[in-house]
Amino acid sequence: MVENLKLVDAELSIDELCDRFVNKQAVVGILGLGYVGVPIGVAACRKGMSVIGFDVNEKKVNKLLSGKSYIDTIEDEVIQGFLDDGKFDVTTDFSRLKEADALLMCVPTPLTKQREPDLSYVVKTTEMILPYLRKGQIVILESTTWPGTMSEIVKPILEKSGLKSGVDFYLAYSPEREDPGNIDFSTSVIPKVVGGDGDEALKLALSLYDQFLKTVPVSNSETAEAVKLTENIFRAVNIALVNELKMIYDKMGIDIWEVIDAASTKPFGYMPFYPGPGLGGHCIPLDPFYLTWKAREHDVSTRFIELAGEINVSMPSYVVTNLMSELSDRFAKSLNGAKILIIGIAYKKNVSDMRESPAFSIMELLKTKKADISYFDPFIPKIEDLKEHAEFEGMASIEMNAENLKSFDAAVIVTNHSNIDYELIVKNSNLVIDTRNATADFQDKYSNISKS
C-alpha cells in the first residue's frame, strides 16, 4: 500500500497543484502495466514519487505484488524495494483511481484487421476513469495515436462527468518513447515530449514529468501526438528503403551490409538503417497507419507511408522465397517436409517481446509450404499468451547444441540476440539463412551462409 498522501479535498490553484508534484506530495496513477507503464512507474519511484499501478490483468498485478518483474530491463529487486518502501502499489481495483493526482494511460493502440486504428483500449480505459474523476486531477495519454485523439475522443468522454477540462481537471498527451532492450536509453534519460489541453494543463504535466525526466514542451496535445507518429514513420520509411535496396543489390551480387557500413563513414548527410526480415514490435509496424487513416479525413494521400508498409510487409515472403531457392539449388530439396529451425522469435534482439514479430509471419508461410518448424530463442523458452498466431501457442524452444542443429535442413536467423553462439550454428548447420548479418565475422570461413 502506498504511504498516503492526503487526497485533495479542496479546490487548489494550478500553482498549488503543481507544488504537490514538486514537493512529492502527489500520487501518480499508471493505467496499464506493460512495457511502457512499469518502466515509467519505476522512473517516478526512483525520484521519490508515490505510484499506484492499475491493470485488469490479475496475473500481472499479482506478479508485481510478489516482487517479480516481467520487464527484461527491470530487476526483481527494484520492484521489491519500492514495495518495501511504500512508494509503489499495484491493484485491479479501479475505484482507487480517485487516490491519484495524475492518471497516466499506457494502454495498447493496435490496428484492426482492416489496418485501421483500434482505440478500444483507450476508450475503455477512459470510461473506467470517468466514475472516479475528481477536481484537480490531470489525465495524460501516453499511447501512440492519431492527432486529435485527446480532444476528439478522451476529452468528450471525461466531460460527461460534468467536470470541464482546463477548469476542473486537466488533459495532456506525452508519447512513450520506450526502446525495450536498449540499456543505453532507459525511460529516465529519454526526453519526454509533452503537450497539453491549454497552458495550465501543460504547466501541470510538466510539473509532474520534470521531477523524474527531461521534458520537451510543445504547443498542444495534437502536436505531441504528431511528434510520435513522425518519429516512427521516419523509421518505417527508411527501413523500407534499405529493404528495397537489399533486394536490388542481392540481384546484383552486392552485399547491402557492406554498402551500409561504407556509407556510414560519411560524417554528414547520412544515417544508417538496416534491412531485416520484416518489422515487429508495438510501434513501427502499426503507428504509420494511424496517420494514413486520419489523413483520409483531410483528403490527403499518404503514398510514402503506404509504399513503405507494402515493402516491409513483403519481407517475410522474400526470406521464405530465398530459403526455397537455396534448398533447391544446394540440395535439390523442397520446403515440403523440410526441417526448418527459426533462430529468434522476439521482434528485436535481447528482449522477450513477441508482439508483431516477423518470425510468426515467416513461420506461417513455412507452415503453408508443409515445412516442419522448430525454434530457438534464449529469451522465450515457450510461446505463451499470443493474441494472434494461435497455432504456435505452446511451442517450446529447442536445446541449442551441435547434434540438434545437424538434424535440420536449414536454420533461419530472424532475431540476432547477443547471447547466441552464431558460429556454433553455422558450423553445425546444413544451411544458414541470415536475415540480420549475425554471421558477418565468419562469413568468409563457411560456404553454407546465405544473406537474406
Query: What is the rounded (10 degree) CA torsion for 85, 91, 95, 100?
Result: 40
**Nearest C-alpha neighbor of 145 from the set 217, 221, 214, 215:** 221
| Residue listed under C-alpha cell 523509421 | 235
Can you tell me the mean pLDDT for 133-142? 97
pLDDT at res. 187: 80
At residue 404, does pLDDT exceed 60? yes
pLDDT tens for 408-437 read 999 999 999 999 999 999 999 999 999 999
pLDDT in tens, 63-104: 999 999 998 889 999 999 999 999 999 999 999 999 999 999
Position 10 scores a pLDDT of 56
**Cβ-contact 410, 323 below 8 angstroms:** yes
| pLDDT reported for residue 247 | 96
Same topology, domains 14-219 and 277-451? Answer is yes
Burial of 333: CB neighbours in 10 Å, binned 0-12, 13-18, 19+:
middle
Catalytic residue list: 283
**Cα within 13 Å of Cα(42), Cβ side:** 25
Res 179 pLDDT > 90 = no
What's the pLDDT band for 112 if we cut at 50, 70, 90? confident
- CB burial of residue 34 (10 Å; 0-12, 13-18, 19+): buried
Write down the pLDDT at residue 280. Answer: 78
Q: Which fold has domain 14-219?
A: Rossmann fold (3.40.50)
pLDDT tens digits along 8-32: 555 799 999 999 999 999 999 999 9
Nearest alpha-carbon partner for 369 in 409, 419, 428, 312: 409
Q: How many CB atoms lie within 10 A of CB 127?
A: 12
Q: Are 339 and 408 in contact (CB under 8 A)?
A: yes
Q: Where are the domains of the chain?
A: 14-219, 277-451
pLDDT of residue 325: 97
Which fold does the domain 277-451 belong to in CATH? Rossmann fold (3.40.50)
Q: Smallest Cα–Cα separation from 53: which of 127, 18, 2, 8?
A: 2
pLDDT at position 4 is 47
Query: 89 vs 34, 158, 212, CA distance in Å?
Result: 15, 25, 18
**Cα 203 to chain centroid, rounded:** 28
